[in-house]
């Protein structure tokens, strides 16, 4: 559903952020985007939602080339894309409900939204999503009265309000404590699985990435240097992405996660897999299930 081909981004100051990135996501596929600071992760996400204009290449979302649309075509294409941000990007003085309804802006238009004339169906959808993300009953709370984890749940629900096909998630856990980070990652994975949403998740925490994300894309200096399963994140791959370091703590975690996946998965189910795509999907489903039973 998303096919990025030979994407390049050179900024006005001549900084080259992306040097021919090609990446393909199937419907419902979730990818973790990792890499050192300055590797081009944010630039890639910003090119896909067209916060910046790519310098070359194509970004086909369900056949529409996002790199070359503008005006109404771009607005229509953007409705297919939900954004989740590190700092939540909520309107602080507005209620949770109003923040959610602002997620329908792409459909209702600015003035209707500004004058708070919302569709009954949108309000019903907002209640349903609040319930799903664990914030039932909080619709009238102001955004600035929420904890970080609650704010991110609002951010997630708001992104889903426009019923996107693709989620772009920028450092969703960077401002959260370890337990809340895990809850948020689990929630995102469950929602993607339930709704068949594809997602690109820009994430610095490699352990968290390998724990929750079936497929990892490693960027270095604007180029993809790894695209494969989380369980393939060994010391060599990590060194290729980040440079020399003692990676033992991380690789031990990856191996442990892989072992618990194998133990949780019935042998018969394993034998029905037909290829890497199936394996990646199955790993995601297993991770979600494994987390669901973890207290
Ligand atoms: N608006 C901009 N104008 C000029 N150069 C930019 C701009 N945004 C990013 N860059 C440059 O593009 C390169 C990639 O930056 P980018 O922010 O995409 O990397 P990143 O992997 O997201 O980094 P981080 O993890 O620190 O957020 C860097 O060299 C950066 O200086």
Q: In this model, does residue 216 exceed pLDDT 70?
A: yes
The pLDDT, as a whole number, for residue 113 is 58
Q: How far is the CA of 38 from the centre of ligand 1 (A)?
A: 5
Q: How far is the CA of 201 from the centre of ligand 1 (A)?
A: 16
Q: How far is the CA of 81 from the centre of ligand 1 (A)?
A: 21
Q: In this model, does residue 235 exceed pLDDT 90?
A: yes
Tokens standing for residue 156: 């997630």
Please say whether the beta carbons of 85 and 72 come within 8 A: no
Confidence of residue 85 (pLDDT cuts 50, 70, 90): confident
**What percent of the chain clears pLDDT 90, i.e. is strictly above it?**
63
Confidence of residue 183 (pLDDT cuts 50, 70, 90): very high
Confidence of residue 112 (pLDDT cuts 50, 70, 90): low
CA distances (Å), origin 113, targets 104, 118, 247: 8, 7, 49
* Interval 41-67 mean pLDDT: 95
Q: CA-to-CA distance for 162 and 138, rounded, in angstroms? A: 20
Q: In this model, does residue 269 exceed pLDDT 50?
A: no
Q: Whose CA is nearest to atom 8 of ligand 1?
A: 43
Handedness of CA 188, 189, 192, 195 (dihedral sign): negative
Comparison of pLDDT for 247 and 293, the residue scoring more? 247
Comparison of pLDDT for 260 and 69, the residue scoring more? 69
Q: Whose CA is nearest to atom 16 of ligand 1?
A: 40
Q: Which of 15, 19, 48 is the pocket-test mutation for ligand 1 (most atoms within 8 Å of CB)?
A: 15
Q: How far is the CA of 219 from the centre of ligand 1 (A)?
A: 12
Tokens standing for residue 125: 């959808």
Q: Whose CA is nearest to atom 3 of ligand 1?
A: 11
Q: Whose CA is nearest to atom 4 of ligand 1?
A: 11
The pLDDT, as a whole number, for residue 67 is 94
Nearest atom in ligand 1 to the alpha carbon of residue 222 is: 14
Comparison of pLDDT for 240 and 103, the residue scoring more? 240
Q: How far is the CA of 109 from the centre of ligand 1 (A)?
A: 31
- Write the secondary structure of the chain as one string of H (helix), E (strand) and C (coil): CEEEEEEEEECCCCCEEEEEEEEEECCCCEEEEECCCCCCHHHHHHHHCCCCCCCEEEEEECCEEHHHCCHHHHHHHHCCEEEECCCCCCCCCCEHHHHHHHHHHHHHCHHHHHCCCCCHHHHHHHHHHHHHCCCCCCCCCEHHHCCHHHHHHHHHHHHHHCCCCEEEEECCCCCCCHHHHHHHHHHHHHHHHHHCCEEEEECCCHHHHHHHCCEEEEEECCEEEEEEEHHHCCHHHHHHHHCCCCCHHHHHHHHHHHHHHHHHCCHHHHHCCCCHHHHHHHHHHHHHHHHHCCC
The pLDDT, as a whole number, for residue 45 is 95
The pLDDT, as a whole number, for residue 262 is 59
Query: Tokens 């559903």 identify what position?
Result: 1
The pLDDT, as a whole number, for residue 275 is 34
Q: Whose CA is nearest to atom 28 of ligand 1?
A: 38
CA distances (Å), origin 238, targets 34, 174, 249, 255, 290: 10, 20, 12, 14, 25
Please say whether the beta carbons of 286 and 260 come within 8 A: no
Other CB atoms within 10 A of residue 275 CB: 7
The pLDDT, as a whole number, for residue 114 is 59
Nearest atom in ligand 1 to the alpha carbon of residue 204 is: 25
pLDDT tens digit sequence for 161-182? 989 999 999 998 988 899 999 9
Please say whether the beta carbons of 188 and 124 come within 8 A: no
Q: How far is the CA of 22 from the centre of ligand 1 (A)?
A: 18
Confidence of residue 291 (pLDDT cuts 50, 70, 90): very low
Q: Which of 7, 11, 203, 223 is the pocket-test mutation for ligand 1 (most atoms within 8 Å of CB)?
A: 11
Other CB atoms within 10 A of residue 191 CB: 20
Confidence of residue 264 (pLDDT cuts 50, 70, 90): low
Nearest CA-CA partner of 199 in 189, 212, 186: 189
**What percent of the chain clears pLDDT 70, i.e. is strictly above it?**
83
Confidence of residue 253 (pLDDT cuts 50, 70, 90): confident
User: Domains plus CATH for the chain?
Assistant: 2-80+164-292 (3.40.50.300), 82-163 (3.40.50.300)
Q: How far is the CA of 44 from the centre of ligand 1 (A)?
A: 10
Q: How far is the CA of 42 from the centre of ligand 1 (A)?
A: 7
Nearest CA-CA partner of 103 in 24, 157, 182: 157
Longest dimension (CA), the chain: 57
Q: CA-to-CA distance for 237 and 274, rounded, in angstroms? A: 25
pTM summary value? 0.85
The pLDDT, as a whole number, for residue 249 is 81
Q: How far is the CA of 11 from the centre of ligand 1 (A)?
A: 9
Mean pLDDT of the chain: 84
Report the pocket of ligand 1 as residue ranges, CB < 6 Å.
11, 13, 15, 17, 35, 37-43
């Amino acid at each position: 559903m998303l096919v990025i081909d030979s994407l390049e981004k050179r900024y006005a100051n001549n900084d080259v952020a992306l040097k021919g990135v090609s990446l393909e996501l199937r419907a419902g596929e979730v990818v973790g985007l990792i890499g050192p600071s300055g590797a081009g992760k944010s630039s890639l996400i910003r090119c896909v939602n067209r916060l910046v204009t790519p310098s070359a290449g194509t970004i086909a979302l369900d056949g529409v080339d996002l790199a070359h649309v503008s005006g109404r075509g771009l607005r229509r294409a953007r409705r297919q894309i939900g954004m989740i941000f590190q700092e939540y990007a909520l309107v602080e003085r507005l209620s949770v409900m109003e923040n959610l309804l602002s997620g329908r802006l792409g459909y209702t238009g600015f003035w209707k939204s500004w004058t708070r004339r919302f569709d009954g169906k949108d309000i019903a959808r907002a209640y349903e999503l609040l319930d799903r993300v664990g914030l039932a009953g909080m619709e009238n709370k102001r955004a600035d009265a929420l904890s970080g984890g609650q704010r991110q749940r609002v951010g997630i629900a708001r992104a889903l309000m426009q019923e996107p096909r693709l989620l772009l998630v920028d450092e969703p856990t960077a401002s959260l404590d370890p337990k809340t980070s895990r809850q948020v990652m689990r929630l995102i994975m469950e929602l993607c699985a339930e709704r068949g949403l594809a997602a690109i998740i820009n994430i610095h925490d490699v352990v968290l990435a390998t724990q929750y994300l079936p497929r990892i894309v490693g960027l270095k200096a604007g180029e993809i240097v790894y695209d494969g399963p989380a369980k393939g994140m060994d010391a060599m791959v990590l060194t290729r992405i980040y440079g020399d370091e003692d990676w033992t703590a991380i690789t031990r975690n990856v191996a442990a996660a892989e072992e618990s996946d194998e133990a949780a998965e019935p042998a018969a189910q394993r034998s029905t897999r037909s290829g890497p795509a199936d394996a990646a999907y199955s790993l995601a489903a297993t991770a979600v299930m494994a987390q669901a039973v973890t207290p």
